[in-house]
Structure 1
Amino acid sequence: MPEIGNATPLSRQTPVDSTMDKALFGKYELGKLLGCGAFAKVYHARDIATGQSVAIKVINKSKIMGSALMSNVKREISIMRRLRHPNIVKLYEVLATKTKIYFVMEFVKCGELFAKVAKGRLTEDLSRKYFQQLISAVGYCHARGVFHRDLKPENLLLDENGDLKVSDFGLSAVSGQVHQDGLLHTLCGTPAYVAPEILRKKGYDGAKVDVWSCGIILFVLTAGYLPFNDPNLMGMYKKIYKGDFRCPKWMSPDLKRFLHRLLDVNADKRLTIDQITRHSWFKKDLQEISFYEEEPMMKAAIGEKNSPFLLSAFDLISFSSGLNLCGLFEDDTERSQRFVSAVSPERIIEKVEDLVKVENGIELRKKEEWGVEIAGVNGNLAISLEICRLSEDLVVVEVRQKGGGSSSCQYNEEWKNKIERELMISVAGV
């Protein structure tokens, strides 16, 4: 199965794709092309407002529409938006045009862990540090019903502080995909890291196959090579199926025993995440990893007395423009986007009025409370905007666009794009 966004590293001198506007959506200045895959390219970019570096994965819709890849991309967005952990690459927002989808993600400066291992095996202490961070991230995912299913050094990145970040959730599964037998059945993953129960094709536990992959990673970090390796793919699968591997002599006895429990071909006897965290080898020099469930802004809105309705942090995140899946994959005549914003309703309405004043043939109609409609000269509705106050500091803004051409709405396409772009920038950012 193709890997979502598994980018092949390219030279830092590779220029930006000339077909792309460097000021993407008026928010991001695109930089170097970092890598590319079968249907996606990854760019370094800068947030114009804050100067923050980000990575933007650009997916060509034409290469995924009507295929299983489309559901994979949707699932990747759905999964990444619920994960907030210091050892997982953050998804900031998702943007879209008629032809492309843009993942705006945390930029992890120092690249793949694989590149570090390729230079030679790591010390046991450094390997332990990375493994501790990996298990913290994987355990966090499992507690939220997410199974990565493609853990390998190429999908583990290092930041400028030398901390590990798990990336690429394109092959991940969620608990809702489990069959009636309580198992997953999709065959996926990278051959050298695949668990033996996947090869049996009788179903597997997503958490247990992730633990197996973590065991392979730990072996690679400390040994400098794969535990199950063979020039013939079927030969390698036979070794995996039998659990046929040997630890090098420089490994400590505790690590050797630990690895054999991680790479137990009997999934029922394999260590669980909880057992891993209590193991003596794992606990040595362990630094507690603190993480947050919600963004501070999201926490502020929970339980506010003046909030008209109760929203969980996940609901608020889902309202974000970049994380609303509606309209990303369809080309409907009516589209809507939602934002959580710290901009006051009064200021948002003022911004809309300012934009409309400079345009000819555009009518602004105010609605009850906080809402406006922007229409063409013939009365056809172009854009509707409604604002709902969540708390003293936060509002939800819903922007609806109706009609896609001159036959249904008499407004200039260039003006429509300008209004949409300026309005989104004004109310989306906090």
Structure 2
Amino acid sequence: MTEKKKIGPYSIEQAIGKGAYAEVYLVSDEQGNGFAMKVIKNIDRLTPSQLKHIKTEIKVMKTLRHPNIVRSRFILASKRKLYIVMDYIGGGNLLQLLQQQRLPLYQSRRFFIQTALAMQYCHKNAIAHRDIKAENILLSEDHNQLFISDFGLSAIYNEDQDILNQQSKRTLLRTSCGSPYYVAPEVLKRRDYDGQKADVWSTGILLYLLLLRRYPFDAASHELLQEVICKGDVQFPQAKIDNGQVPLSAVKVIKQMLQIDPATRPTFSEIIQSEFVKEDDEYFQLWSKECEKEQLEGERERDQQKDEKDDEEDKDIE
């Protein structure tokens, strides 16, 4: 039997993904617990922009604690490689699920509720994801819980400012981010834009996809797609509305989220108060409590880590 390759205390089980400058492996620790490990090679050859994205992703994933966001566990490093150990989510991604089957309305709504609550939490913590898409949403094996992943294009707003001030005076971003079908018009127009408002647009696209298994804006070429998106004329098949597959409450919230003028789009705090969400209020209340519980646990862990760090500093002084 071939001995498994080890990285620190982790044994590599198999490769599960590959990106532009990183590979992802399923690994196990000495107790047999499974994790995902992102291996970033040749860090000495990465551009300043790539390094910035990696540092931001690490900081964001270490900061956030939410039941619908992939959690970072450990960071390991060598001279030329960086290893990010994360929770392993074994149910594939949302796009794969939608390619296989049409979801019942209740499941689409619950996935949307989970996404909206996670994005509300990100935005309250002054973070814009900037690449919300079905491929970046991982699923539990029973397909009841989703996890937002890939914060490589995320942005943290003015870290030296008070978060409450950021909500009224957010820094406008200039970097063009996002995936073609999900990208907001203001990003395509290469204007300064609010990353959090762009997140609202992308999540509106996601809800349309959840309900209809196709994108609201499509075209034969990338150039034509940009034109269609910038017009913002979103249409719904009347037959799907008539048969109840797409409720009018969903049409309303999607149209609000896909407003061409980003200033007129709702916030996620407003979106979770929409009629579409309230139609499954029992689930919304239940999942909101799960989110609060996870966040409180995260705060306790951070306080404990701070106390341990303070104790170490006190020992150094002595």
TM over 0.5: yes
TM-score norm. by structure 2 comes to: 0.85
Q: 8 Å contact 1:94–1:104 — kept in the other structure?
A: yes
Q: Give the superposition deviation at 1:208.
A: 0.7
Residues 78-97 of structure 1: pairs in structure 2 closer than 5 A:
78-97=59-78
Among candidates 22, 31, 37, match of residue 5 of structure 2: 22
Which of 145, 148, 153 aligns to 1:163? It is: 145
| Deviation of 1:63 (Å) | 6.5
Alignment of 1:247-396 (within 5 A): 247-249=236-238, 250=240, 251-285=246-280, 286=284, 287-289=286-288, 290=290, 291-295=294-298, 298=301, 301=304, 315=306, 390=311
**2:56 corresponds to 1:75:** yes
Report Cα offsets for 1:222-251 as digits up to 9, x if no partner.
011010001111111111111122112312
What's the % identity of the aligned pairs?
Answer: 34
Measured in 2, the distance between the counterparts of 1:121 and 1:41 equals 31
Q: Is the 8 A contact 2:158 2:171 kept in 1?
A: no
Q: Distance in 1 between matches of 2:315 and 2:188?
A: 47
Q: Is the 8 A contact 1:147 1:174 kept in 2?
A: yes
Deviations 1:318-364 (A, max 9, x none): xxxxxxxxxxxxxxxxxxxxxx5xxxxxxxxxxxxxxxxxxxxxxxx
Q: Distance in 2 between matches of 1:260 and 1:56?
A: 39
Residues 1:217 and 2:211 are matched in the alignment: no
Gaps of 5+ in 2: 160-165, 241-245
What is the alpha-carbon distance in structure 1 between the residues aligned to residue 263 and residue 299 of structure 2?
Answer: 40
For 1:288, the aligned partner's letter is W
For 1:38, what is the secondary structure of its paired residue?
A: coil
Once residues 244 and 296 of structure 1 are traced to their aligned partners in structure 2, the CA distance between those partners, rounded to angstroms, is 43
Matches within 5 A, 1:31-46: 31-46=13-28
Listed one character per residue, the Cα deviations across residues 115-170 of structure 1 (whole Å, up to 9, x for unaligned) are 00112332221111000000111110111111000000000000134201000000
Question: What is the alpha-carbon distance in structure 2 between the residues aligned to residue 245 and residue 300 of structure 1?
Answer: 46
| Letter of the structure 1 residue corresponding to residue 205 of structure 2 | I
Q: Greater share of helix residues, 1 or 2?
A: 2
Any idea what SS the aligned residue of 1:81 has? helix
Instruction: Look up the match of 2:102.
Output: 121
Q: Secondary structure at the match of 2:152?
A: coil
Task: Report how far residue 202 of structure 1 moved.
Answer: 2.0
CA RMSD of aligned residues (A): 2.6
Q: Deviations over 1:61-96 (max 9, x none)?
A: 347534310111111111111001010000001101
**What is the aligned residue count?**
292
Q: Which has the larger radius of gyration?
A: 1
Q: Given the alignment of the two structures, is residue 172 of structure 1 paired with residue 154 of structure 2, yes or no?
A: yes
Asked if 1:65 corresponds to 2:46, the answer is yes
Return the offset for 1:292: 1.9
User: Aligned to 1:268, what secondary structure does the other structure show?
Assistant: helix
Could you list the per-position Cα deviations for residues 274-318 of structure 1 after superposition, in whole angstroms to 9, with x for gaps in the alignment?
A: 2111111112222333222444863673xxxxxxxxxxx6x57xx
Alignment of 1:144-159 (within 5 A): 144-159=125-140
Closer/same/farther in 2, CA of residues 58 and 181 from structure 1, 3 Å limit: closer
Q: Residue 227 of structure 2 aligns with which residue?
A: 238
1:110 aligns with 2:91: yes
Change in Cα spacing, 1:133 to 1:243, as seen in structure 2 (3 Å) is same
The one of 228, 238, 247 equivalent to 2:217 is 228
Residue 259 of structure 2: SS of its match in structure 1? coil
> Cα–Cα, structure 1 residues 64 and 123, in superposed 2: closer, same or farther, change >3 Å?
farther
1:297/1:34 CA distance change after superposition, 3 Å = same
Counterpart CA distance in 1 for 2:299 and 2:197 is 33
Distance 1:106 1:181 in 2: 31
Matched, 1:202 2:191: yes
Which secondary structure state, in structure 2, belongs to the residue aligned with residue 142 of structure 1? helix
Quick one: distance in 2 between partners of 1:31 and 1:274?
Answer: 41
Distance 1:91 1:136 in 2: 19
Q: Which 5+ residue runs of structure 1 have no aligned equivalent? A: 1-15, 302-312, 317-339, 341-387, 400-430
The structure with the largest strand share of the pair is 1
Task: Report the residue type matching 2:133 in the other structure.
Answer: K
Aligned twin of 2:177: 188
Q: 2-side partners of 1:238 and 1:156: how far apart?
A: 27
Measured in 2, the distance between the counterparts of 1:32 and 1:71 equals 28
Per the TM alignment, residue 200 of structure 1 is displaced from its structure 2 partner at its CA by 2.1
Q: Indicate if the aligned counterparts of 2:234 and 2:255 stay in contact, CA closer than 8 A.
A: no
**Amino acid in structure 1 at the alignment position of 2:12:** L
SS at match of 2:54: helix
TM-score by length of 1: 0.63
SS of the residue 1:231 aligns to: coil
Q: What is the deviation of 1:181?
A: 8.0
Q: Which amino acid aligns with 1:263?
A: L
